[in-house]
Amino acid sequence: MALSKIDVSKMITGVTPLTNGGTGGTSIPATNLASGVTGTLPVPNGGTGLASGTTDQILKFTGSTTLASAAQAAGGKVLKSQYSTFTSQSAHNTESYTQANYNVSITPSATSSKIFVCFNFRSHVYLASGTDPRVQTAVFRQINSGGYSQFYPANAGISFGMSVSSGERTLYNTPTISFMDTTHSTTNQIDYKLYARRSTSGTGSVNVGGSSHQASVMAWELGAN
């Protein structure tokens, strides 16, 4: 005689013993992971496989199912940024540095941070007569309104120009000056300003900028590694 099927959701009452394929109870008690589990929970089961870690380090996969403590990746993050644009022009007709109209200011949040600075601008050299018209540019720095001094490059300047035998000449260029300031050691305001000069004596002039040419200056504070 064939047995009819039994609907276990309706036709059985009470508790089914373990020996009969049941649980031996009406409910399964919750497990306290803080006190009811020993050892470490593996990664495939939702754990880390670790009982401890290293202070100020991060967790890193060293295999598809293995985690381990690891140092943070080298390099700092951007803490602050400043950006300015200019359309002004300045003329520099001597062999001494005079300030152009481009500058940027930033106040670091830490003395150990680095400041990345970038100037992008148009410049042109005009020579009425003579030879070798050249321009030299440099970035000057001041901290906490203490006065400007040449900072980058520390000596001489960034020079460009042309070599001609004689006659009237004009040279246009779009230079970029970028550098990292790692020596400021301050949380006071830092000002960076572009200076320019003519590198050889003569009748020529150096011009920085132009009313129809936009210049840009930026400064980024980067956290220490």
**148-166 per-position pLDDT tens digit:** 999 999 887 777 766 666 6
Render pLDDT for 31-45 as a digit per residue (tens, 0 to 9): 766 666 677 778 777
Taking the alpha carbons at both ends of the chain, their separation in whole angstroms is 81
Contact (CB, 8 A) for 139 and 194: yes
> pLDDT value at position 207?
87
Residue 111 counted as domain residue: yes
Residue 55 counted as domain residue: no
Instruction: Give the pair of three-digit tokens for residue 77.
Output: 């993050």
> pLDDT value at position 47?
77
Residue 104 counted as domain residue: yes
Render pLDDT for 45-91 as a digit per residue (tens, 0 to 9): 777 777 777 876 777 777 877 878 777 665 568 999 999 999 999 99
pLDDT band at 129 (very low <50, low <70, confident <90, very high): low
Contact (CB, 8 A) for 67 and 55: no
Residue 42 counted as domain residue: no
Residue 100 counted as domain residue: yes
Residue 30 counted as domain residue: no
Residue 3 counted as domain residue: no
Residue 52 counted as domain residue: no
pTM (global) more than 0.85: no
203 has a pLDDT exceeding 90: no
142 has a pLDDT exceeding 90: yes
CATH code where residue 207 lies: 2.60.120.760
Residue of 188 and 173 predicted with greater confidence? 188
Number of domains forming the structure of the chain: 1
Instruction: Give the pair of three-digit tokens for residue 12.
Output: 């059985």
Contact (CB, 8 A) for 102 and 93: no
> pLDDT value at position 158?
73
**What range defines the domain where residue 185 resides?**
78-222
